[in-house]
Amino acid sequence: MNPDALRTVGLFVATALAEIVGCYLPWLWLKQGRSAWLLVPAAASLAVFAWLLTLHPQPAGRVYAAYGGVYIGVALVWLWRVDGIKPTPTDWLGVGLCFLGMLVIMFGPRQA
């Protein structure tokens, strides 16, 4: 994978983690009765998420569309590592298809 592709995928993974943490902390508060103070780092994490999306040189719509594919993969890893639920082979197949879609959207040929 070329350096631009590695940077893009790395940014997408960091962005997905920021978004998931920003949503998981309120989930802990609402579903598990944890402290409402979790909303403070959740808000910060969501601000980092939005900022990370601005670091891509591609147009915003393309970045948002492609990011979704990586988000799905990171969410499945979260399901496995944080929630303790092992993804199924069809989960992984779906992630592979989404990741392939991200690569096509971000790195496919463009008309001038």
Residue 15 lies in a domain: yes
Tens of pLDDT, residue by residue over 39-97, are 999 999 999 999 999 998 888 888 888 889 889 999 999 999 999 999 999 999 999 99
Q: Which residues contact 105 (CB under 8 A, 6 or more apart)?
A: 62, 65, 66, 69
What is the mean pLDDT of the segment spanning 13-19? Answer: 95
Tens of pLDDT, residue by residue over 25-44, are 999 999 999 999 999 999 99
User: According to the model, what pLDDT value does residue 66 have?
Assistant: 86
Asked whether residue 112 carries a pLDDT value surpassing 80, the answer given is no
Asked whether residue 1 carries a pLDDT value surpassing 70, the answer given is no
Compute CA 99 distance to the chain's CA centroid, rounded to the nearest angstrom.
11
Per the structure, the complete domain to which residue 12 belongs is given by: 3-107
Tell me how many domains the chain contains: 1
Contact 102, 66 (CB under 8 A): yes
User: According to the model, what pLDDT value does residue 98 have?
Assistant: 93
Residue 30 lies in a domain: yes
Residue 112 lies in a domain: no
